[in-house]
Structure formats: structure tokens, C-alpha cells
Amino acid sequence: MFQAKINVTLKKSVFDPQGKTVLDALHSLGFGEAEDVRVGKYFKMTLKAKDKAAAEKEVKAICDKLLINPVIEEYQFQLAPLESDQ
Amino acid sequence: MKACVVVFPGSNCDHDCWHVMHDVMRLPVEYVWHKQNALPKVDLVILPGGFSYGDYLRTGAIARFSPIMQDVVRHANSGRAVIGICNGFQILLESGLLPGAMLRNDSLRFICKHIYLKAVNRSSIFTKNIAANQVLNIPIAHGEGNYFCDADTLKCLEQEDRIAFQYVSESGQVNMDANPNGSAANIAGILNEKKNVLGMMPHPERASEAILNSKDGRVIWESLAAALN
Amino acid sequence: MTNMLQETPITKEIIQAHGMTQEEYERVCQILGRTPNLTELGIYSVMWSEHCSYKNSKPVLKLFPTEGKNLLVKAGEENAGCVDIGDGLAIVFKIESHNHPSAVEPFQGAATGVGGIIRDIFTMGARPILSMNSLRFGSLDQSQTKHYLRGVVGGIAHYGNCIGIPTIGGEIYFDDYYEGNPLVNAFCLGLIRHDELTKGKASGVGNSVYYVGATTGRDGLGGASFASKELSEASHEDRPAVQVGDPFMEKLLLEACLELVKTDAIVGMQDMGAAGLTCSTCETAARGSVGVEIDLVKVPRRETGMVPYEIMLSESQERMLVIVKKGKEEIVEHLFEKWDLHAKKIGEVKDGQQMRVLDNGKVVADIPAKSLTDEAPLYQRDSSRPVYLDEAQKLDLQSIPEPKDHNEVLLKLLDSPSIASKRWIYEQYDHMVRTDTIFLPGHDAALARIKDTKKGIAISTDCNALYGYLDPYEGGKIAVAEAARNVAASGARPLAITNCLNFGNPMKPEIFWQFRESVKGMSEACRAFNTPVTGGNVSFYNESPKGAIYPTPTVGMVGVIDDVDKRVPSFFQKAGDLIYLLGETKEELGGTQYLLTVHGKRKGLTPRLDLNRETALVKLMIAMAEKRAVQSCHDISDGGFAVAIAECLFGKRHHPLGAEIKNLDWAKGLRSDSALFGESQSRAIVSIALNQKEDFESLARSFKVPFTQIGRVTEKELLIGDWIRLPSAKLETVYEQAIPRRMSK
């Protein structure tokens, strides 16, 4: 078993109104140090796979097929083996 | 012209589209459940508004995998008419029948109100009956109608006369004040290359009877009925 | 774990933690003939909480008139009242509070409030066709209020928009007295054919009990008792008690249940709202005078390690209990399958009258069902007239200078968020889906058509709670009267009301007095209009550390218009039409928005309401519509005459009309502020085309309603005698910007 932690964000070229709103709010609260905010989605997924390479392939396919829209979004993920569930 | 309305779990404008076909236009229409594999023999497929699958992932993202969508794609690719309204437009984008994607409205709020539209393309089966300089008063109701595409796609849409509708002011001007959601180039609706597939955010089915405060949306149904009969 | 909890000895502390008194506990022991186990104690505590049992309010609620010839289901019999509207059709409607959850988590609190009231409607087999809401917040200049407003409006929009039921109107006030204690009252109305009316009752020994919808988790645990506690700082620690709504799941449930109603497979249906599985099980059993047995091992859950106590008390949303005819189980399972829902048989209807709960075959609760519902304790609470009233009702008009600049006062009132345009709010609600919304928000009443008929349904939610604070009795009367007036202004006949009674802690005699007086006033008005009360709810304990809210008995008045083509809009239609004032204007400044906004005073006697005059006005309004004798009709309420006239101008955004009011005979002998901003009741502004003059005047005469021709509709400016002269565009801008400019700060 593997656990995948997937982050989906809007591409750099795409304006992120949520991120902008959060950034504005931070500034108005006095967090002037904040320079940029991008709001994204986070998926935590457990999946069966025979090895890490297979898991990686599977996660990529899942992201490309369903989790993201390549027109506006991009993703990154981390994979770690999981102890088999009790 | 015979039409069908595809019903996804979470569709909520399906009744409204059916009503406008059946009771307002007096045309034959039937519902098609999304789990069906094949469309009935129809001239027009309507993908109605709503929140298919709750739109928890992205609007329209899961609906495109419904069994019926394969036949909708075939229907479209064979040159027959498809109109996607609101969530239906989002499904057309996700399924690749139309280019681009939807972002959240720039206000970050859901917006329901009457807006003004003009038809940029006036030769398609959907827009034929719309007069030059005619400004249509039709409501929108969406949280994610901020149309996005890259610069090349936008250029292509313009060059190929595939921008169906733009948000305009009451007097017909394209400007930022008239743009309710931040859409690129004030785009409210676009066509595919063959111009038999239309996606639009505004709801013409909500503006097809005088009692509903506007019947400007009717011209779209009338264009279709004239072209497909 | 299970055994540990089962064997927990019931101590005084545990009884207290469940919000039960020692006497109540002893009564439980008496009913059972033994001591209850923890699960049973939990079941009694939620069912006997104020929220479910109305133990403190029932004796007072008996004052309401509940009989009427059109009623198919009366108050208290089912989840919501049901009123016949002819043509084999009926409407089912109810308003309910979700105040406490919204105070803790505004977005989810409001969202699940909407979800709950929608379930109440489709549980009865009716298709929900529209929603409304009534909201109260602190001052909009407070940042906490903005947070509440954003969250609550966002939550209502999220749920209502997704499920596809239009939110077509409502009301909202901002006042310091609601700071930290917002009110969220959600209204829903459904349409049904008489033969599809479904009861929330079990019957037929051997029939199956099915569980449908979302899985059960620990969310909202003890929510019903949570709603019956005063909010304190500690409530913010109660966060897990707030449920999360899933409108998509509810949409599936709604469609599936309405399909189910058309089959012959079920005998009853009940949603799991407050007190979840407990409430739905014992209520269906009690209503049907049968026993029900369920086994918790079959209940679908989303968390592991849940004990019977938690499963029985969970308030997970979007769940239904369905009683299925023996032998028809397959039809039901198949139908839910179509909607990707899993119907799970969890029990059976049994002989006797016990509600028996098993956990994998082992009995964990065995209770006479009716002891939870019909035999809950009732209390006559002490009441005493609040001491603040004497001082508050005193108003020395001498001490209040008449305004020098009436233009400024009018602009200030239009800029007050309670009066100003609510566009910022209603544009976030899908108010047009289903294509039945005839009046866009902003009219006196919401109006929706019923397709395939000529009929329309008009609804107004109203409550001027400042009146209630200064005089609960008169305030209650006026809440009903204003709602009736608004419904009638559109041309509809008021039929019945639902109400949501929001008050402070009823254990305090002064609060209980407010409650009783309000109900008395409402009852009297309901009798006068012949509009029975079909149900609603009571929300007590609306108190923050700063004190109780205003007494806020929100009224949802429902009316019907037989021919929607005869509807009357609230706005002037065209320049040149004549303007009339209906009713009499008196020196009544007590409790007005003018005194509050301009002079910062919550003082004086509220305007007096004469029910004879009011019923005459209401009847006249209905007749005016029927005879097509007017172009528009708008009632005069908050902000008085001047605000009402200004509002009449705003029919089309960016194109306000004007008005020229030259005849001020009706204001003779009055202070200028009383004339312009006083809130005398039973008044309205009417506009007519020139050729309607004779018809209109003879109608008004025949109903003995005083009328005065005061001016005419113009194009660009509001002119009232020598007092007011303002460009309409300026009025509109102030009126439209009041809320957005505060929200963007």
C-alpha cells in the first residue's frame, strides 16, 4: 500500500482570485511580509500498487484523467509506502 | 426539431429546459438519464445547468465520464447540434468538445442576475435569428463562469468567429463594467470549430417567457428550430 | 468500549450534563420501571429537550389558532403544515431556526439549516419549489457581523443553489441586539398533489424500516441539546457539534424520495433531523401507535468504534427513515440504486408500542415510544413584565428636534443596511432556477407561479423586532399584519402562517413574558385575517454574554393568487400615473427606524395596529388586483412614507422613476418627521393609470379605506412638498451601495 499526497494548484499563468483575496486579507491584517498566495487543493489517497514505480504511474494517470484540468491546473505529489492496514 | 435533455445526478435546470421546449416552443422533447449508453434519435442535445455530482472536484469534471457522454461526443462529432448551458457548458469544456476552462468568478461569489449579451457570431444555427446590434437581456447564475483560455486559443476563437456571445453593457458596449465574472474577452459563450456545439453561461431557458421578466432568450430556440427543421 | 459505556452508572453529574433535572430523571425511571442505561438517558434527554418537546413553550403555543377549512395537515401533526389550494393541489411549508449552529460556524450552520427545512418538506412527499430566509445580525459596521453575513449568505447559497431550489426572498435586519447571536430562520415551501401526501408514521406489523442517505458519523452529536443551551464563550469549543451539509446527497435523496412517493411501496417516511435516528424512530412509532425495532449493526457509518449512544444521537445530515410495505422492499432498493443511494433495512414494525434498539441482536434501549413524544414534561414558566419597558416606552417628542434637512435624513435611512437594497445578498442566491419566479427579489412579497395552472403563491417573511422589544404584544400583531399586507399587496389572498419564535432564555420570567405576549398578539392578528398557524418552531436561549436578543417572532405568511396575470408589482410603472396614499398617518415615531438611525433611540410606544382597519386594507388590496384597478401597490413600513415612496421608484436598476408629491393635506398637524418617517400601520402607496381613477376610488370607498391622491409619477426626481427634493439616481445609488460599500471595507 502507498499513500499519495497530491497538491493541485492553478498554473502560474492563471489568475487565482482566491489567492489574491487571501493575500489582500493578510496585508490588511498586518502580515506585510506575505508576497504571494496561491490557493490549491490537497488530496490524500491510499492505493494498492506492487512497487513505487507502479504507484507513481497510477497516481499520474489519476491526476491527468480526473483530478486536474490541464488547461488551468498543475500538480505535484509525494509517495510513501504505508504499513498494510490493520 | 426534436430535442433531449440529459439528466445528470445534480442537474437542476433539466426541468426548465424541458419546459421551454415542450410548453413554450411546443417542440418534442424527452429526458435522457446519464447512465444510458445511447441518445435517442434527436436533432438537439441539451446539457442543462446544475451541479452535476455536486461539482465538488471541478464543475463538470465527473459528469464527462457518465456513460451517455460518449454518445454525446459522437453526436457532436457527426455535426449534430449540442447546447450546454451553465453547468452544461462546463461539462463541454471538461470533455474537450470546447476549448478552455472555467475559473471561479473574480468576485469569488455566486452571481445570479440579469445581464446583457450580444451575439458576436450571427451565422451559427444557434444565433442566426439574432439581429445585428441586438442586445439580449438574459440571467446568469453561477459561481464558476470566469472563462479562461490561453492567448493562442483566444486568437483562434476570434479568427474563426467562434465567440458566440459576449457580456455587454445595456447599450451593447464590451467593457469591464459589463463583465460579471472576469471572463477573458467578456466571453459568455463559444462554439466549436464546426459551430454545431455551443456552450454558454447565461440561461436562455430562464428568459423565454414575458412573465419571467424577459423573453430575449427565445431567439436562440427560434434560431435552432428554424435551422434544424 | 460498548460494554464500558453501557455499564456507565448514571450519576447526578451525568444527568446534569444531559441537561435533565432530577425530577425529569425520576420520571424516566418511573416510565421504564427501572433506571435507564446511558443510551436511553441520551435518548430521553434529546427528545425531552426544548428543541424536540417544546416543553416550555407548548402551553403558550396553544393560544395560536390552528383550525381552518383548507388545512390538510394541522400544526404539530407532521413535519410541516399542508394547505389545500384547489385543483387537487396543496402546499406544504415551514420556517425553522438554525441560530446556534450558525453562530458557531456561519457557513455550515446556515447551509444545514436550509438542508433541514428542505427535508421537512419532501419528507411529506411534496416537491420543494422555493425557499426564503429571515436573518438578523449585529451592526454591519462590526467586522464580526461581516464575517457572519458572508458565511451565512454563502452557506444558504451553497446549499440552495446546488440543490436547485430558488431562494426567492426574505428579510434581514441589522441591530446591536443581535451581536454575537445571529438569527438564521429558513423557510421552504413545496407543492404536492393531495393523493401524494406522505405521513411520517409507521404502520403494518412486519413492514420494513429502511435507512437511506448519508452515512452516520459523530457530527452534530447532541445537537438538539446543544440548541437548547445559552451560547457562551465555551460554545466556540463545541465546534464538533456542527454538522456539515452535502447538498448533492440531498438532491439525490429528494429526487429518489419523490419518485418513491409515486410508487405504492411505502407507508411512511421521516427525515432524520435534530436527534437523528432517535427522533425519526420514536416519532414514526408514536404517530402510528405501533412498535419499531431497529438493529444498529446495520446502520451505515463513516467512523469506526461508534457506540449505540453515538449512533442514536448523531445528527449527520441527509438521512431518511422509510417504512416500506412488506414484500415491496425490492422496488425501494432498486429505486434508490438508480440514484446511487443505498437503502439499508435496519428494522421492522412490531406489535406493541415500544421503540426497541438492538446492537447486533442485544437490546440497548427499550422505551415506550409515546413516552418520548406525547408524554414529554410540560412546564408553566413564570412570567413577569420586564422592568426595562416603562423606561423604554417613554418618549418625549419635545426632546427630539425636527430635522432641518429632510433630504439628509432620507438618504441616511436609505443607507441604513436594514432598509437598503439587499441585492448584495440575493444575487448570491439562485433565485430563478425552476423558472417560476415571477417577482424578482425586492417586491413586498415573493411570487412564484404554478406551472400548468393560472395560480401563483405569494410569501412574505416579516418581523419588526424593535417593535417586539418595545411592546411584544403589539409587535407580534404587527409581524402578522405586515406579512398579510405584503402578501395582499401583490394581489394574493393570505392563507396561513408558519412562524419561528426566537427568544432569550425562557427560565427568565421577563423573557417568558415577552414570549407569551408576542404569541398573544400574533394569535389575535391570525384570527382577524383568518390565517391559522400551521407550524414552525421555537428557538430559545438566544442570548450572548451581552444579553438577550429582541423578541423576534418571525412570520412566514403564505397566500395564493388565482390568476397570476392579475399580480400587482410594488414599483411604479410609468411616468404620468397617479399616486395615492391609503390609510391614515398619525404622530407615531416610537420604535421607528428614524428614531434608531438618526437619533440613536430605541424608545417610545410602537405604532398602534387597528385590526379592523388592517383587514379592510388587506381586502381592498386583493380586490384592487382582482379588478385590475391599480398599477402598483407598496406597503409602508420601516422608514415610513418617504422611504416607501423612494422604494417605489426602484423598479428597474439604473432607471429609477421619479415622483412629485404636492398634496400634503394628509400630513396636516403632524410634525414633519412623523409625516415623512413615522411608521403608522395599515398604510400603502398605490399608483394608478389615469383611466383607473374611478374604479380605484370607488373600490377604496366601498372597503372604507381612507385614500388621498397625493401626486404623480415622474421621470427623474423625488419631490415631497418643500421637504424633499433629490435626484432619483442619487437615491438609488445610496440605496444600492449601503451594503456593498460596508462589505468591501
Over residues A10-64, the pLDDT tens digits come to 988 888 878 888 888 888 888 989 999 989 999 999 999 999 999 999 999 999 9
Please report the pLDDT score of residue C239 as a whole number. Answer: 41
Q: Does C58 have pLDDT greater than 60?
A: yes
What is the arithmetic mean of pLDDT over C328-349? 94
pLDDT band with cut points at 50, 70 and 90 for residue C9: confident
Please report the pLDDT score of residue C494 as a whole number. Answer: 98
Mutate which: B33, B62, B211, B213, vs C, most C CBs within 10 A: B211
Please report the pLDDT score of residue C227 as a whole number. Answer: 47
pTM of the model as a whole: 0.94
- Average pLDDT of the residues of chain C: 93
Q: Picking from A37-46, C75-84, C597-606, C727-736, which range would have the lowest pLDDT averaged per residue?
A: C75-84
Residue C535, beta-bridge partner list: none
B62-102: per-residue pLDDT in tens? 999 999 999 999 999 999 999 999 999 999 999 999 999 99
Task: For residue C402, count CB atoms less than 10 angstroms from its CB and return exposed for 0-12, middle for 13-18, buried for 19 or more.
Answer: exposed
- Average pLDDT of the residues of chain B: 96
Q: Are strands C533-539 and C493-502 parallel, antiparallel or unpaired?
A: parallel
What is the arithmetic mean of pLDDT over C97-115? 93
Asked if C283 and C275 touch (Cβ cutoff 8 Å), the reply is no
Chains touching B (at least 3 CB pairs under 8 A) are: A, C
Q: Picking from A71-85, C231-245, C339-353, which range would have the lowest pLDDT averaged per residue?
A: C231-245
Residue C99 annotated as lining a ligand binding site? yes
Distances (CA, A) of C363 to C44, C294, C356, C659, C678: 16, 10, 7, 74, 65
Q: Does C543 have pLDDT greater than 60?
A: yes
Closest-CA distance, B14 to chain C, in angstroms, reads: 9
Q: Does C231 have pLDDT greater than 50?
A: no
Please report the pLDDT score of residue C223 as a whole number. Answer: 47
Please report the pLDDT score of residue C4 as a whole number. Answer: 39
Domains of chain A listed by start with CATH number: 2-81 (3.30.1280.10)
Domains of chain C listed by start with CATH number: 1-66+199-376 (3.90.650.10), 415-420+568-745 (3.90.650.10)
Q: Does C26 have pLDDT greater than 70?
A: yes
Buried b or exposed e, range B90-128, using 16+ CB within 10 angstroms: bbbbbbebbbbbbbbbbbebbbbbbbbbbbbbbebbbbb
DSSP category for residue C197: -
Catalytic residue list contains B156 = no
pLDDT band with cut points at 50, 70 and 90 for residue C263: very high
Please report the pLDDT score of residue C3 as a whole number. Answer: 40
Looking at the structure of chain B, the number of domains it has is: 1
Please report the pLDDT score of residue C104 as a whole number. Answer: 87
Please report the pLDDT score of residue C238 as a whole number. Answer: 46
C474-529: per-residue pLDDT in tens? 999 999 999 999 999 999 999 999 999 999 999 999 999 999 999 999 999 999 99
Interface check for A24 against chain B (CB to CB < 8 A): the answer is no
What is the arithmetic mean of pLDDT over C271-282? 89
Show residues of chain A in contact with B104, CB under 8 Å.
17-18
Catalytic residue list contains B205 = yes
Residues 323-352 of C with CB under 8 A from B: 338-340
Please report the pLDDT score of residue C181 as a whole number. Answer: 94
Show residues of chain C in contact with B143, CB under 8 Å.
161
Chains touching C (at least 3 CB pairs under 8 A) are: B
Length of chain A: 86
Check CB contact under 8 Å for B12 and C427.
Answer: no
Residue C147 annotated as lining a ligand binding site? no
Q: Does C224 have pLDDT greater than 60?
A: no
What is the arithmetic mean of pLDDT over B194-218? 98
Alpha helices in chain A (DSSP H): 17-28, 52-62
pLDDT band with cut points at 50, 70 and 90 for residue C398: very high
Q: Does C232 have pLDDT greater than 60?
A: no
Q: Picking from C231-240, C333-342, C468-477, which range would have the lowest pLDDT averaged per residue?
A: C231-240
* Residue tagged active-site, from B13, B86, B142, B149: B86
Mutate which: B107, B148, B156, B179, vs A, most A CBs within 10 A: B148
Which percentage of chain C shows pLDDT scores above 90?
Answer: 86
Q: Which CATH number characterizes residue B212's domain?
A: 3.40.50.880
Interface check for B108 against chain A (CB to CB < 8 A): the answer is yes
C647-663: per-residue pLDDT in tens? 999 999 999 999 999 99
Q: Are strands C208-213 and C319-324 parallel, antiparallel or unpaired?
A: antiparallel
Q: What is the domain extent for residue B205?
A: 3-228
Please report the pLDDT score of residue C302 as a whole number. Answer: 85
Check CB contact under 8 Å for C162 and B205.
Answer: no
Q: Picking from A13-17, B215-219, C239-243, which range would have the lowest pLDDT averaged per residue?
A: C239-243
Q: Picking from B162-166, C5-9, C399-403, C645-649, which range would have the lowest pLDDT averaged per residue?
A: C5-9
Residue C431 annotated as lining a ligand binding site? no
Buried b or exposed e, range C73-102, using 16+ CB within 10 angstroms: bbbebbbbbbbbbeeebbbbbbbbbbbbbb
Rounded Cα distance between B186 and B181, Å, is: 9
Task: Give the list of residues 6+ apart from residue C51 with CB closer than 8 angstroms, or none.
Answer: C224, C225, C227, C228, C274, C275
DSSP category for residue B20: I
pLDDT band with cut points at 50, 70 and 90 for residue B54: confident
C703-727: per-residue pLDDT in tens? 999 999 999 999 999 999 999 999 9
Within its chain, how far is the Cα of C637 from the centroid?
Answer: 19
DSSP category for residue C193: E
Whose cell is 414552525? That residue is C536
